[in-house]
Amino acid sequence: MKSLIELNNISFEYNNNKILKNINLEIKEGEKIALIGKSGAGKTTLISILNGTKRQTYGDIKIYGKNFNNLYNSQKRKIGTIWQDLRLIDDLSAEQNVNCGLLSNQNLIFTFKNLLNISSFHKAHKCMELCQLNSRIYSKNLKNISGGQKQRIAISRSIIQEPEILFADEPFNNLDPKLCDYLKNLFISRLNNYKIKFPNTILFSLHKIELIDGFTRVIGLKNGEISLDISKR
């Protein structure tokens, strides 16, 4: 399998506190990684470094064999993120929020159409249906819907982007166990009836140990260091 991401001696400091210490990691194409660890272990920081929103204090990171800043836009677009705090736009409707995931592949006209609520929501509806969202909430403003529904909207926004690599920070928060299992299997099997291309390589940070079932690799973080790295294959 081709190596997609390489982390060499990555450290991250914030206010003189070492959040991550000398992380060495290689992520290969097609891997389904579960990142586990207690609160404050450094999971969110690691994901932020991987998606390029935080810069490591020391060390070197390569994605597709290049530094993050040297990646082509077309390569950056292949990377998706589901944030722990969702980061959706409260004043837009559910379908408009999901359509925002298409920003990477569309032009300015599409953006205006989406904000004016006159774009096509066909693909957004498919993704939301896939996440078992009820059609009644599609056009609802985010202020009027529950936490679990918002969580699935954030997941739908990442699915519509059709990334090759997906980083997710506790993506199954606020969901009941049945839905957690369903969505996890969707990402692992990548099988669906809607011809939506699911990410081939995923790294999900998880807070519940029982969710690691099905992942091909489990990485444990403790006090900013890798304490566990098991490949199931």
Partner 1 sequence: MQKLKLDHTLISFLPILVFLPITYQIINDFHIGGLELFLDFVKAAFTPKINNQIINISITRLNETLFIAFTSWLISIIFGCFLGILSSDIFYKLIRIPVLIKYLLRFILNIIRSIHELVWCLILMQIFGINISIGILAICLPFIAINAKVISEQLELVSADLIESITTLNGNNFSSLITLIWSPIIKTIKNFGFYRLECSIRSTAILGLFGIGGIGTSIFLSFQALNFNEMWTYIFSISSLILFFKLILKQVKIQRINSNFILLIICISILITFYSIYFLINLLINNYYLSNLLLSKNIFLNFINLPDNYLKSIFDTITLSIFSSGIAISVPPFLLLISQNKYFIITLRFFAFIIRIIPPTIIILILLMFNEPSLSLAAITLGFYNAGITFKLLNDNLSEIDRNNYLAFKSIGLSNRSSWLIGLFIKQSKSYLSYCAYRSDIIFRETAIVSIVGSIGLGWQLKESLSSFAWNEVFIIIFSYSSIAIIGELLNDKIKSKLI
Q: Which residues bind partner 1 (CB under 8 A)?
A: 51-53, 73, 76-77, 79, 81, 83, 85, 87, 89-92, 100-101, 103-108, 110-112, 114-118, 161
Considering the complex, what minimum distance in angstroms separates the CB of residue 198 from partner 1? 17
Considering only CA atoms, which of 202, 178, 176 is closest in space to residue 189? 202
- Nearest approach in angstroms of CB 231 to partner 1 is 28
Identity of the residue, 171 or 220, whose beta carbon is nearer to partner 1 in the bound complex: 171
Q: How many Cβ atoms are within 10 Å of 110's Cβ, its own excluded?
A: 15
Is-contact 52 213, C-beta < 8 A? no
Residue 108 or 191: which CB sits closer to partner 1?
108
**Residues in contact with 180: Cβ distance below 8 Å, sequence separation at least 6, in sequence order:** 172, 208, 211
- The nearer residue to partner 1, 10 or 102, going by C-beta atoms, is 102
* 3-class state of residue 213 by DSSP: coil
CA distances from 77 to 72, 74, 124 (A): 9, 5, 18
Q: How far is the CB of 168 from partner 1 (least distance, A)?
A: 12
When the beta carbons of 115 and 196 are compared against partner 1, the nearer one is 115
